[in-house]
Amino acid sequence: MRFEMLIRNALERVNMSDIIALDVSKGHSYCVYYKDGVCDAEFDFKHNKPGFDRLRATVDCAKNPTFYFEATGVYSRPIERFCRDGNIPYALLNPLELHLKTENLRRVKTDNKDAHRIAMSAYDCGYRLMAFQDSKYLKLRELCRFYERIEDSRKSNQVQLHTELQQTFPELEQLFVNRTSKLALNIINLFPHPDFVRGLSRTKLKNILLNKTEKNISKDRALKYAQKLINFTQNSCPASRSDDIQIQEVRYYTQRIIDLTVKKEELIKQMTQLGKELPAFDIISSMPGIGEMSAAMLLGEIGDFTRFGNSNQLNAYVGIDLIRYQSGQYTRDDHINKRGNSKARSLLFLIVRNMLRQQSCAPNHIVDYYYRLKKQPVPKGDKVAVVACMNKTLKCLFSMIKNKTKYVYTYTDSRSTEMH
């Protein structure tokens, strides 16, 4: 009764459609359906075909229903797909925001009570509904996340390879500037221990390198590598023998890194090809310092820029809007809230860094702004200046995409002070 009284009070102030609120858990959800401020039905269902048929029956009985549920990672994905496939409006709620808006002094945590609280909060708070984007944005985001996991795994295997190689043939790391290139990895896989080189002539080694490495190299280059291998072998005294388990480990990690590198290259091609099919891709990549890969990943993490009403909403989504705290005579320094998309924020940080590295290639008003901040009467620190440049970059990209205009230095520079 207490829940229904609160809903009726909220309904008197806000006229909304029927609400379906869900408390999402692993493999199942607790659903409450509110009609005209009264709970008309509540039930628990599994995330399978019979469960979604039961949910569909509730949707069919409702009048213009809107779904409200927390973002719970992969567990809320089936509900999102159900809403997208059925073209049902839904709000994906930030757990922290929902907690702050529904917390009370006496906290009782159960699935059914949480679902009712979400429904009450939906009546009273007016959450922003999710925009239905082109499915290409969703595919691009999954490709970006897959790419990041592949790259993390690749880096982890590189660390393991270095550890084992120090025990079997540490001099091999001096053979190449880029120790993770395909050629370097192939040679490490062939000769993980100096004993595998001993007894082979320079010509024999050259022929092995020419025939058994995937990368095509010239005879002269192969001959130079062969001579270096012989020189390293003469002075090498590794911790492991040629029949120790570490040899298997070296070959395992080298093959893993090769496979992951091949997959990484495939994903880069897929991301850039898919990104080029989106209208904002050419606009974003027209800004100096943003390549095709970065443009595709930015679209994957942020999605359709036009779904945001203004650049402030975009900044809040990324998590670089300022948070201020003042109590009495104490005022804390401003900080970014870091409650948005952390991956998009990290990517944007790298993009600004890349702009600074490539500043000699083309004029860029973001770089100009960075150095203005560094030369003010009170110079900003490096990270503070970079974050400010991240904010300006987003504003610039948002304006360019809204106006369907590619980057022009004189145009954006003339408005740089207005956009700040």
Give per-residue pLDDT as tens, 317-340: 888 876 655 666 665 665 666 677
| Residue 165: pLDDT over 70 | yes
* Local confidence band at 95 (pLDDT 50, 70, 90 cut-offs): confident
| Residue 263: pLDDT over 90 | yes
Q: Encode pLDDT of 205-255 as tens digits.
A: 999 988 877 667 888 988 999 999 999 999 899 999 999 999 999 999 999
- Options 3.30.43.10, 1.10.8.60, 3.30.70.20, 3.30.420.10; CATH for 2-130 is 3.30.420.10
In this prediction, residue 3 carries a pLDDT of: 46
| CA angle, 92 then 96 then 100, to 5° | 110
C-beta of residue 334 within 8 angstroms of C-beta of residue 322: yes
| pLDDT-wise least confident of 106-110, 112-116, 370-374 | 106-110
Torsion, Cα 310 79 11 42, to 10 degrees, reads -170
C-beta of residue 76 within 8 angstroms of C-beta of residue 32: no
In this prediction, residue 211 carries a pLDDT of: 86
In this prediction, residue 277 carries a pLDDT of: 95
In this prediction, residue 231 carries a pLDDT of: 92
State the Cα–Cα distance between residues 356 and 172, nearest whole angstrom: 34
Tokens of 293: 């890969």
Q: Encode pLDDT of 63-87 as tens digits.
A: 889 999 998 889 999 999 999 999 9
Given the structure tokens 């829940």, which residue do they identify?
3
Residues carrying CATH 1.10.287, the chain: 139-272
State the Cα–Cα distance between residues 404 and 63, nearest whole angstrom: 38
Q: Is 89 exposed, middle or buried (0-12, 13-18, 19+ CB in 10 A)?
A: middle
DSSP H or E segment with residue 78: helix 77-85
Residues carrying CATH 3.30.420.10, the chain: 2-130
| Residue 177: pLDDT over 90 | no
Distance of CA 254 to the CA centre of its chain: 27
Distance of CA 172 to the CA centre of its chain: 35
CATH number 1.10.287 is the correct assignment for the domain at 139-272: yes
The contacts of residue 304 (CB under 8 Å, 6+ apart) are 131, 133, 134, 137, 280
| CA angle, 170 then 172 then 178, to 5° | 120
| CA angle, 87 then 93 then 94, to 5° | 145
Mean pLDDT rounded to a whole number for the chain: 86
From residue 246, how far is each of 34, 154, 160, 173, 198 by CA, in Å? Answer: 63, 19, 11, 16, 19
Given the structure tokens 């320094």, which residue do they identify?
333
Write the Ramachandran bin of 316: left for phi over 0, alpha for psi from -120 to 50, otherwise beta: alpha
